[in-house]
Structure formats: structure tokens, C-alpha cells
Structure 1
Amino acid sequence: MISPACRARWPRAFVLSLCLLAPVKVRAQPVAPQSSPAVQALYDQANDEMDAMRYESACPRLEEVVRLAPDALGAKLTLGACYEGWGKLASAWSQYVLVEGEATKVGDLDRQMKAAIKAAALKPKLATLTIDVPASVRSIPGLTITRDGLSVRDAQWSVPLPLDVGRHEIVVSGRGYKTRKQQIEIAADGDRVAVRVSPLESMSNAESAPVRPWQRPAAIVAMGLGGAGLAAGAVLGGLAIARNQESNDSHCSSPERCDPAGRELRRQAVGLGNGSTAALVAGGLLTAGGVALFLTAPSHAQRDERARTRAVPWRAEIALLPGGVAVQGGW
């Protein structure tokens, strides 16, 4: 066992060479001095599953341990070992690099050296994915690129980034442009995969407008209410004319001279006339609005055609290179 004081005086490369001669044990340690019994039990269960090589269940448990005990470097180091056993080398490498940095800050030299050794051993084996974004795409307003739901910002473009073996989804979108999704397959450790994003297809005004399935039903309701309003206006108008005619026939000798009954009939005629006018105006507006909604609503065929035009083929080229495989693709 090398004392911390001695190690502090020796060159880093020499200490690394000594550590490489001994096995690195990163599991079967307490989570943290003050960890709760529940967290410790979860950690112990994960260790048992790792011993049984059930990494697919052990790693999520360790992720939960790290979430509950974020300062537990031992748990983070064990999580890296779990990812490595599971075959997720990029995730393991990222975890080891993280532990190395955090252990350096707190002066935990044992875990710092263990994490550094493991990260250095994995780095040459990592598969990478490079996303190239040409200038024509970078100028798209509101451009957003994600990989497996994580944002890929411009600082990451054209940079080979370590990635686990398996299937990954890339999504590219922008304001006023059709969103594209593509599944990328990394077949083996050490693969070098490159994807070039081609210009997105612009939406037409009709395509960019939101689909409104309520539009036709609302149009039918509006036209029905409008028709009812027009009918009510016609009835009220007829009653107004009848009241006015009755006053002229029996109760008024001239437009200005009427008995009390005639004046009441004239008053009723004016009220019915005003109601008729209001009903006719409202009914006309509702009817016109309903007709406009109905005529502008997209048909089922138009919506189906819009969905079909959004499917854009993706192309890829594969080339054998010294030390790996290169995949060049784009939309």
C-alpha cells in the first residue's frame, strides 16, 4: 500500500504504472458514511446483481443510488463498472471521467487513480457519432437537434462524441420546417459513425397551419344557429308588419292620429321590427361564418396526403477504414 505522502512525491505516470499491476476493485464498499439504510440496501442489491451479471437491472438501481447520494464517489465508480459490464462503454467512460474529476477535488487519491486507469483503458475502444450541420441548415430559425432526447448544441457539431453501441434517434426541427426523425445504429465498439444533416423541407402555409378537427362540426353548428336566427327574424318581421297593418285598419286615421289601442299596436310593431332586424343580422353572420369554416376545413384526404409528404427517405454510405467502420449518412 502506497502512503498518500509518498504518492504525492512520485510522478503520476509512475503511480499509474504501479496501479496497473494490481486489480482494481470498485465494488462491495459502503455507499457513504451517512447513507440511509434504504440507499445502502439498494446498493447492496445492485452489487449482488452485478455478481450474477444481471447488469440490466443492477445499473438502474445504481443510478438511483447516485441520485439519492450524489456525493458517494464509491457508488459512482461502481456504476461505471456496471455500465462497462453491460457493454455500455461510452457511459462507463463518462462515469469514470466524472469520478476522476470529483475525486481530485476532494483529495480522494485512491478513487482518482482507479477512475483514471479505467477511463484510459476504455477510451480507445469507444464508438463515436459525429453530427455535421452545414451552414444552410445552421441558418434555419429555431433550429433544434436532439439525440435520444438530449439537446445537441452547436459546440457539439462536427465533433466525434463517444456513444454506446445500439440504436439512437436523431431529431432535427426548426420553425416553419418539417421535423425529421432518424434511427442511427452503432453496430460495434470502435465504430466511427458520421451523420450529415441535409436542409429541412419548408412547410407551405397550409401545412404549417394547425390541423383543426373541430372545424367542420363547428361550421355545421354555426350554420344551424344562423338558419334559426334568419327564420326567427322572418317571423318577427311578419308579426311587426301585421301589428302595423292592424293599427292602420282600425285604430289610426293617419300616421299621427291613433287611439290608445292603435298606439299600443304601433309600439308592438316597432319592438317586433327591431327584434327582427337583430335576429336577421345575427343569423346572417352565423351562417356566413359557418360557411367559411366549412369551406376552409381540410378534408381527410388532404390530411393523409400531408402526413405522407412528411416522410423523407434517409441515405447512408458505409466505408471500411483502418481500425474501424465509417458510416456517412444524411436526409
Structure 2
Amino acid sequence: MSLKRCRTCGVLTLALSFGLLVSPPARAQTVDAQTVASAQSLYDQAVSEMDAGQFAPACPKLEEVTRLIPEGLGAKLTLAECYEKTGRLASAWAQYSLVETLAGRTGQAERLREAVAAAAVLKPRLAMLTVAVPAEVRAIAGLVIAWDGVTLGEEQWESALPVDAGAHRLVATAPGRRAWEEAVEVRGEGAPVIVEVKPLVVETVAPAAVEGRRGPEEAPSERAWQRPAALVALGVGVIGVGVGATLGGLAIARNGQSNEGHCNAENLCNQEGFALREQALALGNGSTVAMIAGGALLAGGAVLWFTAPARGKDKGAGELGRARVAVVPGGVLLQGRW
């Protein structure tokens, strides 16, 4: 029976083809009447479209029929013809080969002869793909190679595999490696296609993406500002103490001038003596403020300096100096051990 004759009579034989494969009890358990009716309706529509030369919409309907009734050999043969008409020769050959296997198991001689003949005619026209996997790539742990999203087992590497014409994509992946992929265009019938998988690049992590604590060797750079700040504080503190000392000296001088005939021992002063005493008091207050501020800056600067990380030394090179700074009347007391 030719393929065309099979297609036109398929409306009558689809449901019967299922009945030839299994016994009545098994049919009742696996496929219900609604499923058979749906499959028959889709099959009828697909056959009508194929008779009208509309193969593109017919193939998906036949695929659904074979999914609903996997044992339907007539639908598989019609699907193979549909694939062949749309240029999907490898898919058509695969369907014929499947029918050949199933028909041989179930003793359907006519289906078997039809499938064998059609597959033999198609085989020389098939485009054959060979995925070449060099030894260095094959040695990559966890290597996975996929053709159009379907994983190829290692047994399929380096073997000629029938593929449909058109655009395809070969992708190789592995843990810790960048995915490698290549677009493959298969043209012509019977043409060999060889694609070599290239080495997968080791995935690297950008420095900016690495999180974690900085190591001890990086600690000094975290407080690199400390010594410059200490120098500034010490410098301003020295100036403050100097200003305080100067103001204190002027206060003492004004007080001495008031005692030169302007104020007596009971601190009773004439107008000029009173003015000198007022100046001495103001200068003394300014001296106190300047000394305290300068002393505080000196103390802070000293603490910053002696607690700053040592330059060019690791943590075990020695202990940092320990210091104690205190403001005392007339100056700053600095005690420490280095």
C-alpha cells in the first residue's frame, strides 16, 4: 500500500490500528472512548489538510494523535509522511524506524513492509551530524552537550546522527565553566555536518563581587588617615598651648602693673589700677581656655599617633606604644612606654 493510499484510508483504520496491538481488557484500562474520539477528530483534520497540501498545520495535529494513542501505527506512518513533505527528513526517518520496530513486535506485516521501504528510501538523503569532542574537552568534569535542548549521551558523541535541515544550536556546559554554544545551519540532503566542541573557559569571579572581611594585612590601609590627623591635632594643640601661655604671661604682667602704685594690699585700686586688673582677668580667662583647648588637641593627637597601625609591619612585629596623656595646670603631661 502506498503512502497516499494509507493516508486516505487512515480515517477508517486509526482506531482499528490500536485494537490490533492490545487485548480488549488492556484497551479498557489504558484508553477511554473520549480519547479515541479526540484522536480520530484530529487525525481527520490533519488528513484533510494534507490532501489540500497544507502540511505545516497538519503535522502538529498528528503529533498530538500519536501522543494520545502511542500504539497507533497508522498515525505514525501519516506523521512520517507529513514530516517528509515539510523537509524534516530525519524526523520522518525516525518515525518510519519506530513503526518498523513496533510492527515487527506485533506481527503487522503490511505496516512493517511499508515502514522498511520508506526508511530505506529516506536514509541516503539524511544530513548526518557528528559532534566532535576533543580529549581535553571530554575530560571536563560534569560536561553536558545538548542539541536543540536535548542532551546527547556520551555514546552519541563522535557518532553520525541524522538531523533535520534548518537552524540548530549546540550547547556545552559544565560546573564552574562558561557555557559554549554554536549556531549550526544544516543545508542540503545527505550532507555530513561536523561540529567540534571548543574548550569551556573557567568561570572567574570579578573582584568587586567578592565579599568578606578584609585580612589582617589590609588593616593599616583602613586607618591610613590616623597619622595625618594626629599631626594636625598636635600642631593645632601646640599653637593653642602657645597662645594660652602668651595670654597667661600678659595677664601676669597686667596684674603686676596694677600693683605698682595703683592697688594696695587690700586690692583697693584707683581707676587705672581697676582697668589693669580687668585686663589681667580677661587675659587670664583667655589663657585658661586656650590652654585647655590646646591640651585637649595635644592629647587627642597623641592618642591618634600612638594607636595608629605601624607602617610596613605586620601584627606580630611588635606591640604598639601605650601612652597616657593628661592636661595639668600650665601644660600637658605625656607618659608612655615604647
Partner residue, 1:174: 174
- Identical positions, percent: 45
Number of aligned residue pairs: 191
Partner residue, 1:147: 147
Partner residue, 2:123: 123
SS at match of 2:38: helix
- Once the two structures are superposed, residues 156-201 of structure 1 have per-residue CA deviations (whole angstroms, 9 ceiling, x without a partner) of 0111100010000111111111012211000111111101112111
The answer on whether the counterparts of 1:24 and 1:114 sit within 8 Å (CA) in structure 2 is no
Give me the whole-angstrom Cα distance separating, in 2, the residues matched to 1:77 and 1:193. Answer: 27
Give me the whole-angstrom Cα distance separating, in 2, the residues matched to 1:97 and 1:73. Answer: 11
Give me the whole-angstrom Cα distance separating, in 1, the residues matched to 2:96 and 2:166. Answer: 21
> Which structure 2 residues correspond to residues 312-327 of structure 1 after superposition, within 5 A?
none
- Once the two structures are superposed, residues 204-259 of structure 1 have per-residue CA deviations (whole angstroms, 9 ceiling, x without a partner) of 1339x799xxxxxxxxxxxxxxxxxxxxxxxxxxxxxxxxxxxxxxxxxxxxxxxx
TM-score normalized by the length of structure 1:
0.55
Partner residue, 2:6: 26
Q: CA offset at residue 25 of structure 1?
A: 3.1
Give me the whole-angstrom Cα distance separating, in 2, the residues matched to 1:24 and 1:68. Answer: 23
- Which moves more between the two structures, 102-111 or 29-38? 29-38
Q: CA offset at residue 84 of structure 1?
A: 0.7
Q: CA offset at residue 139 of structure 1?
A: 1.1
SS at match of 1:205: coil
The residue identity in structure 1 corresponding to 2:15 is A
SS at match of 1:26: helix
SS at match of 1:27: helix
> Which structure 2 residues correspond to residues 173-252 of structure 1 after superposition, within 5 A?
173-206=173-206
The residue identity in structure 2 corresponding to 1:113 is R
SS at match of 2:181: strand
The answer on whether the counterparts of 2:3 and 2:81 sit within 8 Å (CA) in structure 1 is no
The answer on whether the counterparts of 1:130 and 1:159 sit within 8 Å (CA) in structure 2 is yes
The answer on whether the counterparts of 1:96 and 1:115 sit within 8 Å (CA) in structure 2 is yes
Over the residues paired in the alignment, what is the CA RMSD in angstroms?
A: 2.2
The residue identity in structure 2 corresponding to 1:161 is L
- Which moves more between the two structures, 98-107 or 46-55? 46-55
Change in 2 beyond 3 A, CA 1:173/1:23: closer
Partner residue, 1:48: 48
Say whether 1:79 aligns with 2:69.
Answer: no
The answer on whether the counterparts of 1:127 and 1:164 sit within 8 Å (CA) in structure 2 is yes
Q: CA offset at residue 26 of structure 1?
A: 2.7
Partner residue, 1:13: none
Give me the whole-angstrom Cα distance separating, in 1, the residues matched to 2:158 and 2:122. Answer: 22
Q: Which has the higher contact order (CA 8 A, sep 6+)?
A: 1
The residue identity in structure 1 corresponding to 2:14 is V
Q: CA offset at residue 31 of structure 1?
A: 1.5
Partner residue, 2:68: 68
The residue identity in structure 1 corresponding to 2:162 is P
The residue identity in structure 1 corresponding to 2:206 is A
* Runs of 5+ unmatched residues, structure 1: 1-18, 212-331
Q: CA offset at residue 154 of structure 1?
A: 0.8
- Once the two structures are superposed, residues 10-38 of structure 1 have per-residue CA deviations (whole angstroms, 9 ceiling, x without a partner) of xxxxxxxxx8xx77633131312366222
TM-score normalized by the length of structure 2:
0.54
The answer on whether the counterparts of 1:53 and 1:85 sit within 8 Å (CA) in structure 2 is no
Partner residue, 2:297: none
Partner residue, 2:113: 113
Q: CA offset at residue 98 of structure 1?
A: 0.3
Partner residue, 1:137: 137
Is the radius of gyration larger for structure 1 or structure 2?
A: 2
- Once the two structures are superposed, residues 98-122 of structure 1 have per-residue CA deviations (whole angstroms, 9 ceiling, x without a partner) of 0000000000000000000000000
Give me the whole-angstrom Cα distance separating, in 2, the residues matched to 1:47 and 1:24. Answer: 10
Partner residue, 1:303: none
The answer on whether the counterparts of 2:137 and 2:198 sit within 8 Å (CA) in structure 1 is yes
The answer on whether the counterparts of 2:180 and 2:198 sit within 8 Å (CA) in structure 1 is no
The answer on whether the counterparts of 1:55 and 1:82 sit within 8 Å (CA) in structure 2 is yes
The residue identity in structure 2 corresponding to 1:175 is P
- Once the two structures are superposed, residues 41-92 of structure 1 have per-residue CA deviations (whole angstroms, 9 ceiling, x without a partner) of 1000000111112111100000000000111010011111110111111100
The answer on whether the counterparts of 2:39 and 2:68 sit within 8 Å (CA) in structure 1 is yes
The answer on whether the counterparts of 2:128 and 2:193 sit within 8 Å (CA) in structure 1 is yes
